[in-house]
Amino acid sequence: MANAQISLISELEYATRSGSHDKCVETLQRVTDLFLAGADRFTEDHVRIFENVLEFLIQRIEHRARAELSNRLALIDNAPLRVVQRLANDDEIAVAEPILARSPRLTSDDLVQVARTKSQDHLMAISARRQIDETVTDILLDRGNRDVIHKLAQNAGARFSEAGFTTLVVKAGVDEKLAETVGLRVDIPHYLFERLLTQATKTVHARLMALAPPETQREIRRVLASVSKEVAWEVTAQRDFKNARDVVSALHARGQLNEAALLEFAKLHKYEEIVVALSLLCCAPLEVIDSLMSSPRNDGMLIPFRVAKLSWPTVNALLNHRSVRSGMTNHDRENLCAEYSRLSQATAQRVLGFWQARAADSQQRH
């Protein structure tokens, strides 16, 4: 390696003195060849020697030569780290793409930095990686366009946080192709899978039934059958919230609108008061809470319950109010309890915010 180091220094000095772009490119190719020939044997000290030389040279070459270097280093486990990071942040996607899509040297922090600052093409390249962790997919979902999100949803090696899956399901509500892709992921949380099916069109249902494995097909049939059942809350009945508003607003003004008050309304089966109280506790429109509470599904109600920071006994009392005619079994209740314990405050607030935005958009269109 000592002789190689002397040779590298000599090449570098000659390239620097000549000031020739072509000579820099030629030197870059020779240095890269030498590195790749012994990469599996080099120590970190050896790699740092190449790193210093390559860093110097890539500042003096045009993007086609940088793109070639990127392609050659993309799959090397011990590629010079600073060089790899520099190439990944290159504004030219032809340079950055091979590294972003394939390099094992990039850490999640490196990918997050690129995802926060670079173009949609850079985000698309990251979305193609064999493995992507939750911290990266959260940023991609936040900044990515439709193509990026579709690519990410199709990537079996991408891992999503609870909030990330929530974002996918919400976006799938207005994107049938995305709904099909997300519905076929084996790692989607069960309660979000049910939400996806509830909001999906018949076309999506049919496509999922055609593409899903037998176990998933059975679950799809079960969920759709549950959604179609008649439930207890007289969905079509006209409700008058005026008196309930007066009662609940008075409690709120006295600082007495709390979980205990909501629990009392549940015990007395006062639907209108429950809806108004949840609306105030969640800072959400009355219409949104009414829609969720009168829905044929139980799991959607968990969202405002969690936003209102209700304990499970109070949630259970509210479920009891529904269960008289909804046919909810003990098994259903146990599943809801488990889902409620997993549902975070942040995710619930995010989901409720999405639903509020969708309700507002719907009102504006009509």
Domain borders along the chain are 1-106, 242-365
Report the C-alpha gap between 120 and 105 in whole angstroms: 22
Please say if the pLDDT value at position 23 is more than 70.
Answer: no
- Number of Cβ atoms within 10 Å of the Cβ of 300: 18
Give the per-residue pLDDT at 294: 75
Burial class (CB in 10 A: 0-12, 13-18, 19+), 310: buried
Give the per-residue pLDDT at 105: 94
Give the per-residue pLDDT at 366: 53
Cβ neighbours of residue 6 closer than 8 Å, sequence gap 6 or more? none
Q: What mean pLDDT do residues 269-298 have?
A: 87
> Residue written as tokens 């709120």?
252
User: Can you point out the beta strands (E) in 122-226?
Assistant: none
Looking at the chain, how many residues does it have? 366
Please say if the pLDDT value at position 247 is more than 90.
Answer: yes
**CA-based angle 350:351:357, to the nearest 5?**
90
Half-sphere exposure of 332 (CA within 13 A, CB side): 15
Contact by Cβ (8 Å): 69, 54: yes
Contact by Cβ (8 Å): 123, 148: yes
> Residue written as tokens 């084996």?
186
What does each C-alpha distance from 28 to 220, 237, 315 come to in angstroms? Answer: 57, 77, 66
Q: What mean pLDDT do residues 340-363 have?
A: 84
Q: Answer with the residue of higher pLDDT: 295 or 212.
A: 212
Give the per-residue pLDDT at 104: 95
Nearest to 271 by CA among 318, 222, 215: 318
Give the per-residue pLDDT at 94: 96
Report the C-alpha gap between 86 and 99 in whole angstroms: 10
Average confidence score pLDDT of the chain: 84
Specify the pTM.
Answer: 0.61
Please say if the pLDDT value at position 365 is more than 70.
Answer: no
Give the per-residue pLDDT at 51: 75
Report the C-alpha gap between 183 and 178 in whole angstroms: 8
Provide the sign of the torsion angle of the four alpha carbons 308, 310, 314, 315, taken in this order.
positive
SS3 (DSSP) at 132: strand
Q: What mean pLDDT do residues 30-51 have?
A: 73
Winning range, highest mean pLDDT, from 3-7, 119-123, 249-253: 119-123
Give the per-residue pLDDT at 240: 76
Q: Provide the β-strand partners of residue 132.
A: 158
SS3 (DSSP) at 158: strand
Which range among 78-87, 130-139, 177-186 shows the weakest confidence by mean pLDDT? 78-87
Provide the sign of the torsion angle of the four alpha carbons 34, 74, 88, 133, taken in this order.
negative
Which range among 101-105, 203-207, 231-235, 314-318 shows the weakest confidence by mean pLDDT? 231-235
Q: Provide the β-strand partners of residue 158.
A: 132
The helix (run of H) or strand (run of E) holding residue 87 is: helix 81-88
Give the per-residue pLDDT at 246: 93
Q: What's at 22, amino acid-wise?
A: D
SS3 (DSSP) at 234: coil
- CA-based radius of gyration for the chain: 29
Contact by Cβ (8 Å): 157, 132: yes
Report the C-alpha gap between 358 and 254 in whole angstroms: 33
